[in-house]
Amino acid sequence: MADTFDVVVIGGGPGGYVAAIRAAQLGLSTACIDDWTRAGGKAALGGTCTNVGCIPSKALLQSSENFDEAGHAFAEHGIGVAGLTLDLAQMLRRKDKVVAQNNDGITYLFKKNKVTFHLGVGAFAGGNANDGWKVNVSGPAPAELFAKHVIIATGSKPRPLAIDGKVVPVDNVRVLDNAGALAIDSVPKRLGVVGAGVIGVEMGSVWRRLGSDVTILEALPAFLGVADGAVAKEALKLFTKQGLKIATGVKITRVATGKNGVDVDYTDGAGKAQAQTFDRLIVAIGRVPHTAGLNGAAVGLRLDERGFVAVDADCRTNLANVFAIGDVVRGPMLAHKAEDEGVAVAERIAGQHGHVDLNTIPWVIYTAPEIAWVGQTEEQLKAAGVAYRAGSFPFMANGRARAMGDTSGFVKIVADEKTDRVLGVHIIGPFASELIAEGVMAMAFGASSEDIARICHAHPTLSEATKEAALAVDRRTLNL
């Protein structure tokens, strides 16, 4: 006999678990199925983000930055740290503890909100628009669920590296994906990273700070092509100064794993053949949607040509009352985008009007300095023929940044030439991840650069750089 719910959510990552909580808050009987387990077969709710993504990477970024600062930055403040040591095992244990706290936090939230949780793989087993959908759970406690509405939130998995059509196997010993990159048990002397995307620069930074000689091999000719050009240029300059070796325009021609390391052959940006041996190689060349196990074919679920679940602007699939959200659908693969879609879909199911504006989703790269942006870059505006004005302000001229001893980078605001409406905010510098929230709010409220310039910003704060960048749009900075 199937258990019947108003909503069954398949996947318990940031998209799925948040959708389940919101649906339950709105009075809908809700179940969530997730298959991620930790030691002992215990559920590990939170998906990629909590287990092998956002949370553990940020834990290691913080730990490694503390180590780097103690070794290099404290002396300028008059603080001596004699005999600085690295206990990598403890650093990894702390990371695992932070992950477990988050897993347990979600389990608690499910109980609090009366979301029924099923550990295992959820698969469509039939149904239709009139009668609803049947979803089977295979796992330690198999179950048959019946749902009026289904939310698919099955996420993504790493894109494999293929050379001449042959996939390079990931053993997570020598050749690592993002999970392996977060669990290296000794600092590799020579670390290779394929892909200078978000994972490449974040994980490259972690291991560089802990002592690895890191080389990042990027296929595209430009570094960080998704970011604003001036931000990407500044990032390349600063990361190179820190010691990251970044090669662009690279084509990998051979990866061979041996006893002593990984041999990588490639042609560089100038077309010259190169060969390097690394102790470990991280492959971070993007992610692909994860639909295996879902059995969507049984009910005729439509995927697009790239394998994402096809959805409209409201996250509706081709099946009545079946929605899909997060990494498994179009749009940026970011946890907060997945969460917002989860909330919006739950509200739509409850008869409300959820909405997600994909144009105001912020991006953050948690390197040092951090990089964050929202809206459009100057390059995108030029390509679209939009007339705009841009204003920048460097942290070098910001009192708080000077006091912190962290003056690299700048804030840039781009605004429509005629209306002055903010079209994009681009930051590289200290706490860019926090500062970007003001830019997101400005864009969500349709603010002008003058609006930001007229808001009182506390002194001395890094946020004054945002105000000054807004003043710079009108060529009237006060402190530069």
Q: Which is nearer to ligand FAD, 211 or 293 (CB)?
A: 293
Which of 175, 309, 338, 422 binds ligand FAD (CB under 6 A)? It is: 338
User: Residue 290 binds which entry of ligand FAD, ligand NAI, none, with Cβ cut-offs from 5 to 8 Å by kind?
Assistant: ligand FAD
Is residue 220 close enough to count as binding ligand NAI by CB under 6 A? Answer: yes
Among 23, 28, 49, 372, binds ligand FAD (CB under 6 A): 49
CA 454, 456, 462, 465: dihedral to nearest 10 degrees? 20
Question: Is residue 432 a contact point for ligand FAD (CB under 6 A)?
Answer: no
Which own/partner contact pairs does 255-259 have at CB distance under 8 Å and 24+ positions apart?
255/161, 255/163, 255/168, 255/175, 255/281, 257/169, 257/171, 257/174, 257/175
* 47 lies in the site for ligand FAD, by CB under 6 A: yes
Q: In 3-state terms, what secondary structure has residue 154?
A: coil
Amino acid residing at 144: E
Binding mask 166-205 for ligand FAD (x = CB under 6 A): ------------x--------------------x------
**410: Cα separation from own chain's centroid:** 22
Tokens of 221: 């000719």
Whether 459 is catalytic:
yes
| Contact status: 71 vs ligand FAD (CB under 6 A) | no
Residues in contact with ligand NAI, counted by CB under 6 A, come to a total of 25
For the bound state, the minimum distance from the C-beta of residue 56 to ligand FAD, rounded and expressed in Å, comes to 8
Among 5, 8, 13, 424, contact with ligand FAD (rule: CB under 6 A): 13
User: Does 442 engage in binding with ligand NAI (CB under 6 A)?
Assistant: no
Question: Is 462 among the residues that bind ligand NAI (CB under 6 A)?
Answer: no
CB–CB of 61/149 below 8 Å?
A: no
Which residue do the tokens 């994980």 mark? Answer: 203
DSSP string, 267-293: E-TTS-EEEEEESEEEE-S-EEE--TT
Per-position DSSP letters for 392-426, written without gaps between them: EEEGGG-HHHHHHT----EEEEEEETTT-BEEEEE
47: nearest Cα among 14, 23, 20, 21? 14
- Out of 21, 151, 252, 333, the only residue in the binding site for ligand FAD (CB under 6 A) is 333
The listed partner (ligand FAD, ligand NAI, none) that binds 161, CB under 5 to 8 Å by sort, is ligand NAI
Q: Which of 5, 8, 9, 14 binds ligand FAD (CB under 6 A)?
A: 14
| Closer CB to ligand FAD, 366 or 388, in the complex | 366
| The only residue of 218, 228, 327, 340 in contact with ligand FAD, by rule CB under 6 A | 327
- Chain positions 259 to 298 lying near ligand FAD, rule: CB under 6 A, are 290, 293-294
Is 202 an interacting residue with respect to ligand NAI (CB under 6 A)?
yes
Compute the Cα dihedral for 306, 308, 309, 313 and give only its sign: negative
CA distance 375 to 389: 14
Q: Which of 10, 147, 176, 368 binds ligand FAD (CB under 6 A)?
A: 10
Contact 34, 82 (CB under 8 A): no
Given 115, 198, 214, 324, the residue binding ligand NAI (CB under 6 A): 198
The set of residues, in sequence order, having a beta carbon less than 8 Å from that of 288 and lying 6+ positions away, is 156, 157, 158, 159, 306, 307
Give, as ranges, the residues between 125 and 164 that touch ligand NAI (CB under 6 A): 161
Distance CA 222, CA 228 (A): 12
218 binds ligand NAI (CB under 6 A): yes
Which of 20/471 has CB closer to ligand FAD?
Answer: 20
Contact region for ligand FAD (CB under 6 A) — 21-29, 42-50, 64-72, 316-324?
42-50
Cα gap 478→54, rounded to integer Å: 38
Q: Does 217 bind ligand NAI (CB under 6 A)?
A: yes
b/e per residue, 126-161, with b = 16+ CB within 10 A?
Answer: ebeeeebbbbbbebeeebebbbbbbbbbbbbbbeeb
Site string for ligand NAI, 279-318 (x = CB under 6 A): -----xxxx-------------------------------
Euclidean distance between CA atoms 227 and 307, whole angstroms: 26
Residue from 252, 381, 422, 435 touching ligand NAI (CB under 6 A): that is 252
The Cα diameter of the chain in Å comes to: 72
Any contact of residue 154 with ligand FAD (CB under 6 A)? yes
Instruction: Answer yes or no whether residue 364 interacts with ligand NAI by CB under 6 A.
Output: yes
Does 49 engage in binding with ligand NAI (CB under 6 A)? no
**Residue 194 touches which of ligand NAI, ligand FAD, none (CB < 5 to 8 A by kind)?**
ligand NAI
CA atoms within 13 A on the CB side of 476: 6
Q: Specify the residue, 201 or 217, whose C-beta has the smaller distance to ligand FAD.
A: 201
CB neighbours of 105 closer than 8 A, spacing ≥ 6?
none
Q: Are 217 and 266 in contact (CB under 8 A)?
A: yes
Run of H or E including 198: helix 198-209
- Report the interface residues with ligand NAI, using CB under 6 A: 161, 194-200, 202, 217-220, 250, 252, 284-287, 332-334, 364-366
- Which chain residues interact with ligand FAD by CB under 6 A? 10-16, 33-36, 47-49, 53-54, 57, 121-122, 153-156, 178, 199, 290, 293-294, 326-328, 333-336, 338
Catalytic residues: 459
